Structure 1
Amino acid sequence: MSRISRYTHGALALCIAAGLSAPAFAQDEGGAKAPGKVRDGIDLTLDFVGNVASNPVGGVEQGTEGSYWVMAQSKFDLDKLFGVHNTDVDLQWAWFAGRNLAREKIGSSISAQQTWRPVAGGRLTRMTIRHRFDNGLSITAGRAPVNSYFNNSPLNCVFMSNAMCLTPYGAITDLGITAYPNSSWAAIVRYDVNDRWYAQTGAFDYNNDLNKAGKNGLDFSFGDGTGTIVPFEVGYQTNAKNDPLPRAYRVGVYHNSDGGKSPYWDINGNPAGLTGKAFANQDGSRVGWYAMADQTVWKEGPRSLALFARYYVNTGNDAPIDYFASAGFVKTGTFAGRDRDTLAMFVSNTHFSDSQQAYLRDRRIRNGGTGTPDNNEIIAELSYGWAVHRGIRLMPNLQYIVHPDPIYAPTRTTDIPDALVVGLRVDVHFAQLLGW
């Protein structure tokens, strides 16, 4: 068995909806969710997550949009099923639908709804086989997204904003890392030094065409990618069994051998914002570093208070985002008799690069405007997670966006007003609800 208790990947922070303590900080391939009940070596999971968001104040215009996903997962313990020691197979599928408030009404690129994806419909999100050696080494191979294994935490998805959930903002935009639900051929090697320290690395095929409509995660071709993403992460983590105040600290780096697109120059070497032509390809590589910390500062039974911080910085090719930083807290157990409810808040700053803002300035000039958007887009969210029933959680939340970027408001000639977003997230974890 693995030396570290793990969550299986799923619909966001359903570890909380299932009644698990959020600051357990168990590392897993992709996030935080309580597994369904294992029967005869088969673990079946079915989750629904819905987001509704409205901006009564600010943005390009006011309105309401909704989005949702459904995720089904089957995990097979080959030891119990066929006697293949310490080996499991993980299959995961998801369906996405809905519209994005940030894109449609506010005009900005950072979605207030973590369930929205640019390509709707069904998708195979994971197909992996993992073998765990008795010395702490494990190898995983198959189809998987980078952010299901690197730079994640159960606390990230105690929120609805895509600035935090599933992966802190920045790396997907700058590095092009494959992110749930997009997957590609991958191999991951992890070594658990003991029940606290670990190191892991991997190689993921980079092929942007896999994310297009109609692919559905079923394009298994080899050799068609334009690069390879290699992440590396070292971490220290504890849980409630080996630490009275569980914690997790991780540092890591991504490297993409595909140099990406210039955020400013077009294919002819002219400013793309003025010409409207496609961005130029860049030589070299894309590199970004990240660090994250989760620290429980108070715990009494199932009730706890955890603080967290996130940081990402671009150090490779010119990219849209220079750095992203966020900090916040998660309080598990709020009022008397509400030990499974949560109160959480974060504040983040996405600092766009000068090249990105120069492109937006030029585009504004081309449409008859003047001035440059602010480099810093600040987002705050306050959410309350109400555990209505085992397996069902409602999360009303307030988000406030300062200096919304105008990336999806191409004809905008002035700054977009700061926006207030009123949201509601609904999580249904059927394995817990139905007692599977």
Structure 2
Amino acid sequence: MWGGLSAAVFLLLGHSAFAETPSDPPAPEGRTASDQTTGETDPAPLSAGAAELLPKASAYEDLAGNLSAPPSLFPFLNDSHGWLRRHGTIMQFDNMNEMMGAVTAPTPGHGYKQGASNAGQYAVNIVTDWNRLAHLQGFATHVVFIGRYGTTANRMFGDWLAHSQETYGGGGNVVVHLVMAYGEQHLFQNRLAIAAGRMSQLSDFASGSVFCTFVNNSFCGRPKGASDSAYYSSYPASVWALRVRGRPWRRDVYVEAGVYFAEEGIYATAQHRTGFRLNGANIVGQIFPVEIGWQPTFRRPSGELAYPGHYKLGVAVETMARSENFLDTLGNPYADSGYSAARHSGSWSTWLMMDQRIKGSRINPQGGVTLMGGVVLNEPRTALRDRQIYLGATWKGFWAARPSDTIGLAVSYVHIAKGVQRTERILLAAGKTLPYRATGLQTHQEVAELNYTFALGRAVTFEPDIQYYHNPNGQVNLRDAVMMGFKSHIEIF
């Protein structure tokens, strides 16, 4: 794949269907989160693309001839013989909408309420093969614009850790928001790809194509724990970046590394409301992620059914200083001393992720039962979530009359860093305001989701969804919450 531009292209073009949802990055450690209003969301077009096997170079001598768009309401725009395709371009426009509401009543006494809300986005994705336009073989550009609307319902009952609607946040409340704009050059018969421009770190690293079978931000785009740092750019936020991905040994193993120039306030509207503030004036340091992945395809002896899998291990290291979540500059608890929290350089995040199809489907060659699971660990001195563990399963192609229908079930466990817990205990005893919008001690949270996705015609999908929150916001003092709703996706062209 990843030398395979068409696979990356297809996943990019269909990215809103696989989009991940935004969620608010944590507030600066040791402070309240009252000024945080945005979130992070990401369809992970590149990481998902990296999950595909490397095709033979000959298949991409004419990229434009191999570009493919998903089925749409108005397919003429991207017709294989149309004007856009003849000029090496595909342009996709789609809409995703998510409605969720709480079935259960919230905890009284905190101003919370039982209610529902709607959130969604429309997206324009453009991929251009410059071999067709300027004879630049192996070079393509990717540009993504979105507009977002609505809000997420989980905040109504006091949760700020896992947005019930992954499409919420980060869009700046403007008609057009620039998500990404970058070029990618493929070399050495597609064994090496170099990308540079405005890019989202968590679209390239710690991401995948199975996550956005789900709606909750605990899973969609990437496990939420992987985006615990407010400096990690996650769809729809982007920064200046360079990423190199290669397959030096074999076609089903890739290694990728990059440098992402972290900016202050990438989810805030002051500098990044439209996404077009490109001067880099807020750059405060660099993030260096590295990931190695294996994508085996196991087959039955008959060769009829294939069982693809994706396994990845990665780490990201930051150069900028971040506030510690417990100690001050003198080594004492800052919640007690009144001094500023100490600054810690070299924060890190690491992840181990997998998904594997374990059962095929004779009804749908692309279907079957797929298991996913993984662990995310974060630097405990600066993190809000110091670890996350998640498990899930999807089942597609189980009903002959509806071969594309899919059932999804996933569970996430998030642990709050010990330093955050110790700080909050001190603040609670003193009757002071807690960080992270907490109204009680934060310890751990579990989120479970069950959904069913089915098609309405060739370009519309509908997904009824149930979510369960144990310890909303990681707080044992808040009642568990049950939410019900749906996600719809329309591929317009």
- CA contact under 8 A between 2:444 and 2:474: conserved in structure 1? no
Q: 2:466 aligns with which of 382, 398, 414?
A: 398
Q: What is the one-letter code of the residue matched to 2:343?
A: Q
Bigger strand share? 1
Q: Find the counterpart in structure 2 of residue 167 from structure 1.
A: 222
Structure 1 gaps, min length 5:
17-26, 408-413, 432-436
Which residues of 2 match residues 344-383 of structure 1 at below 5 A?
A: 344-367=408-431, 373=441, 375-383=443-451
Q: How do 1:320-335 and structure 2 match up within 5 A?
A: 320-335=384-399
Give the equivalent residue in structure 1 for 2:323: 261
Deviation at 1:344, TM superposition (A): 0.5
- Tell me, in whole angstroms, the C-alpha distance in 1 between the residues paired with 2:141 and 2:433: 55
Q: Report the AA paired with residue 29 of structure 1.
A: L
Please report how far the alpha carbon of residue 189 of structure 1 lies from its aligned counterpart in structure 2 after TM superposition: 0.3
Residues 128, 140 of structure 2: 8 Å contact kept? yes
Corresponding pairs, count: 414
Partner residue in 1 for 2:357: 296
| Matched letter for residue 447 of structure 2 | I
Q: What is the deviation of 1:406?
A: 6.2
Q: Residues 237-276 of structure 1: matches in 2 within 5 Å? A: 237-238=295-296, 244-264=306-326
The amino acid across from 1:120 in the alignment is N
Change (3 A) 1:273 1:334: farther
**Cα–Cα, structure 1 residues 311 and 111, in superposed 2: closer, same or farther, change >3 Å?**
same
Q: Map 1:38-77 onto structure 2 (within 5 A).
A: 39-40=85-86, 41-59=88-106, 60-77=112-129
Counterparts of residues 121-160 of structure 1 (less than 5 Å) = 121=174, 122-135=176-189, 136-160=191-215
Q: Give the conservation status (yes or no) of the 8 Å contact 1:175–1:256.
A: no
Letter in 2 for 1:42: T
Q: Which residue identity lines up with residue 485 of structure 2 in the other structure?
A: G
Which amino acid is the alignment partner of residue 195 of structure 2? T
1:191 to 231, 246, 262: 246
Task: Tell me which of 479, 482, 490 is aligned to 1:417.
Answer: 479
1:323-371 per-residue CA deviation (whole Å, 9 max, x = no partner) reads: 1010010101242311111000001100111122233334444548999
Q: Give percent identity, aligned residues only.
A: 20
Distance 1:12 1:131, change over 3 A: closer
Summarize deviations over 1:39-75 as a string: whole Å, max 9, x none: 1210111121111111121434311111111111111
Cα separation, 2, equivalents of 1:225 and 1:84: 32
What CA distance in whole angstroms lies between the structure 2 residues aligned with 1:143 and 1:380?
Answer: 34
Helix, strand or coil: the match of 1:347? Answer: strand
How far the C-alpha of 1:380 sits from its partner, in A, is 0.4
User: 1:187-236: CA deviations, max 9, x gaps?
Assistant: 00010233211100000010023332152111111464111011100001
**Bigger shift: residues 188-197 or 285-294:** 188-197
Q: Measure, in 2, the Cα distance between the counterparts of 1:58 and 1:266.
A: 39
- Contact preservation (8 Å) 2:47, 2:205: yes
Paired AA for residue 168 in structure 1: P
After superposition, the Cα gap between the structure-2 partners of 1:361 and 1:95, relative to the gap in structure 1 and judged at 3 Å, is farther
Amino acid at match of 1:389: G
| TM-score, normalised by the number of residues in structure 1 | 0.86
Superimposed CA distance per residue, residues 258-314 of structure 1 (whole angstroms, 9 cap, x where no aligned partner)? 232222457898766679x89636232111110111100111242311001021011
Partner of 1:9: 12
* Match of residue 234 from structure 1: 292
**What is the root-mean-square deviation of aligned Cα atoms in Å?**
3.1
Q: Classify the secondary structure of the residue corresponding to 1:247.
A: strand
Query: Residue in 2 aligned with 1:22?
Result: none
Q: Is the 8 A contact 1:396 1:423 kept in 2?
A: yes
Residue in structure 1 matched with residue 267 of structure 2 by the alignment: 211
Q: Scaled by the length of structure 2, what TM-score is found?
A: 0.76
Tell me how far apart the structure 1 counterparts of residues 167 and 388 of structure 2 sit (CA, whole Å): 21
The separation in 2 between residues aligned to 1:345 and 1:311, in whole angstroms, is: 17
CA contact (8 A) 1:377 1:404 kept: yes
Question: Does structure 2 conserve the Cα–Cα contact (< 8 Å) formed by 1:11 and 1:48?
Answer: no
Q: Distance in 2 between matches of 1:230 and 1:223?
A: 20
Q: Distance in 1 between matches of 2:383 and 2:2?
A: 38
In 2, the alpha carbon distance for the partners of 1:279 and 1:45 equals 48
Question: What is the Cα deviation at residue 134 of structure 1?
Answer: 2.2
Give the superposition deviation at 1:35. Answer: 3.8
Structure 1 counterpart of 2:423, one-letter code? Y
Query: Given the alignment, which residue of 153, 163, 186 partners 1:111?
Result: 163
Find the residue that maps to 1:248 and give its secondary structure.
Answer: strand
| Range with greater deviation from structure 2 (118-127 or 143-152) | 118-127
Over 3 Å counting, the alpha-carbon distance change for 1:273 and 1:330 in structure 2 is farther
Contact 2:414 2:446 in 1 (8 A): yes
**One-letter amino acid of the structure 2 residue matched with residue 218 of structure 1:** F
Conservation of the 8 A alpha-carbon contact between 1:322 and 1:353: yes
Q: Is the 8 Å Cα contact of residues 323 and 344 (structure 2) preserved in structure 1?
A: no
SS for the counterpart of 2:419 is helix
Match in the other structure for 1:98: 150
Q: Which runs of 5+ in 2 are unaligned?
A: 20-43, 52-67, 71-77, 107-111
1:339 aligns with 2:403: yes
Query: Aligned partners of 2:310 and 2:373: how far apart in 1?
Result: 11
Compute the displacement of 1:127 (Å). Answer: 0.6
SS across alignment from 2:11? coil
SS class of match (2:197): strand
Counterparts in 2 of 1:279 and 1:10: CA distance versus 1, 3 Å: farther
Structure 1 counterpart of 2:456:
388
Name the CA shift for 1:279/1:103 in 2 (closer, same or farther; >3 Å).
Answer: farther
